[in-house]
Amino acid sequence: MKKLKRRLKYAMVGGGENSFIGPIHRMAVRLDDTADLIDGCYSHKDNWRDLIERVRGKVDFLTICTPNDSHYEIAKAALDADMHVFCEKPVSMNAKEALELQKLSLQKKKIIAVPFTYTGNAMIKLARDLVRKGVLGRICKVNIEYVQGSFRKIDPNEPTDARIAWKKDPLRSGPSCVTADIGVHAAALIEYTTGLQIESVLADISTFSKGTVLEDDASILMRLTSGAKASLVTSKVATGEENGVRIRIYGEKASCYWNQEDPNYLYVKYPFEPERIYKRNAPYIANLSPVAKRLSRIPAGHPEGFIEAFANIYSEFCATISGVRKGDFPDIGTGVMTMKFVDAVLKSARTGSRWVRL
């Protein structure tokens, strides 16, 4: 990867002891040595406003790894302090807040990145570029699932893991659980890979696990621009599932399939030709997708996965704010779209599973 003109500096809010996502962020940044972490506020007992004042003018960006209820407030304060922002999804509690952040970022000429992790995977970028090149033909249908069994416990009397418990709390998670937590990844993947936009949704949501009033399971139909259709199954009560992100894109000429748990391969099927399997960083990849080649670090056959995809988003974000190139990463535009998606899903469910426009 091309080195930046200078090493960037950043600070972090959240992501302290017992955090899952905080260490992922720190590992991702270190993977390409794009930036140095110089300060942080890692506990809810600490004052993040004091941190922002401490690092004002000393850092290039602020990373936000807190629960959902504070994303908007912290991101707004960072923008007001003239920092770029790398904020965990969802970027806010609702679309109104996301739009306000987008407006402020434009006014301040600062960038907000939102880590929709799987868009950083090299083979997802290949899928996107095959669609762009017309290999699949006109896109007609997308089937996607993001299913976990994380809300299922062997012992129902066992206390809920603190890293999960807050996601069931509407005061911290917001009005949505599974849709805002993992369904947004699917929405981002649909628009990223196909180049189409989600126009409207019809949703059926459910709550199966104890200890929450929020939805932990959702089935969602989508109408996309150009007349294409999509469907999403997302759940945290899919017993036995680990992190099942699987996408199938059907075009008039061919279809493709990608599985996050086997992320280094993209499968393309044709009606009258043998199936093709594209392999990450194989010799032919550079001609098909230069960005997929650029964001592959090690030789083919050596698996790259979740942390590397996360690092790709950071490296592209850092390249952009340092002026090396315009990077390929999800920004506040995707953050706004996904919050409109969440709001529309909840409205559809409340109104008897009617179609609702984003």
Domains and CATH numbers, the chain: 8-117 (3.40.50.720), 121-300+330-350 (3.30.360.10)
* pLDDT above 90 as % of the chain: 90
> Comparing 209 with 146, which gets the higher pLDDT?
146
Residue 2 has pLDDT above 60, yes or no: no
- Of 29, 87, 8, 106, nearest to 323 by C-alpha is 8
Residue 153 has a CB neighbour count (10 Å cut-off) of 15
Q: pLDDT band at residue 165, thresholds of 50, 70 and 90?
A: confident
Query: Looking at residue 18, what is its pLDDT?
Result: 84
- The mean pLDDT of 5-32, rounded to a whole number, is 93
Residue 162 has pLDDT above 90, yes or no: no
Query: Looking at residue 61, what is its pLDDT?
Result: 98
- The mean pLDDT of 157-168, rounded to a whole number, is 72
Query: Looking at residue 202, what is its pLDDT?
Result: 98
User: In this predicted model, what pLDDT tens digit does every residue of 288-333 receive, in sequence order?
Assistant: 999 999 999 999 999 999 999 999 999 999 999 999 999 999 999 9
Distance CA 167, CA 165 (A): 5
Task: Mean pLDDT check: name the lowest of 5-9, 46-50, 192-196.
Answer: 5-9
Residue 234 has a CB neighbour count (10 Å cut-off) of 29
Query: Looking at residue 164, what is its pLDDT?
Result: 77
Q: In what order do the strands lie in the sheet with 276-279?
A: 276-279, 265-269, 255-259, 244-251, 139-147, 229-235, 217-224, 198-206, 356-357
SS3 17: coil
Mean pLDDT of the chain: 95
Torsion angle in degrees (nearest 10) through CA of 87, 93, 95, 99: -50
Distance CA 67, CA 285 (A): 38
- The mean pLDDT of 24-42, rounded to a whole number, is 96
Residue 1 has pLDDT above 70, yes or no: no
| Omega before 90 within 30 of 0, i.e. cis | yes
Residue 5 has pLDDT above 70, yes or no: no
